[in-house]
Amino acid sequence: KTQRYVVRRWLLDEQKRVDGRRMDEIRPLAAEVGVIPRVHGSGLFTRGQTQVLTIATLGPVSDRQML
């Protein structure tokens, strides 16, 4: 309870998040395309420490795979 109270007071008093960002500040954003050369399309999206890698390969329906 004490830790929760201290963090809450800090957030409200300092108007900063735990990672140091202001309340109206978003995490850094970045996007890259063509990160994997052997597929038809790929992209990497980064927001703070979170990353998403997307990959697309084109082909006929008969080549599809079930995940």
Is pLDDT at 66 greater than 90 in this prediction?
A: no
In a domain, residue 49? The reply is: yes
For the cut 60, the answer to whether the pLDDT of residue 67 exceeds it is: no
Give tens-digit pLDDT for 13-64.
888 887 888 888 889 999 999 999 999 999 999 998 899 999 998 888 888 7
Residue 64's domain spans which residues?
Answer: 24-67
- CA 51 to chain centroid, in Å, comes to 4
Do residues 11 and 3 touch, judged by C-beta distance below 8 A? no
Residue 16 lies in a domain: no
| 64 within domain boundaries | yes
Look at residue 35 in the predicted model and tell me its pLDDT.
96
Q: What is the number of structural domains in the chain?
A: 1
pTM over the 0.85 mark: no
pLDDT of residue 21: 87
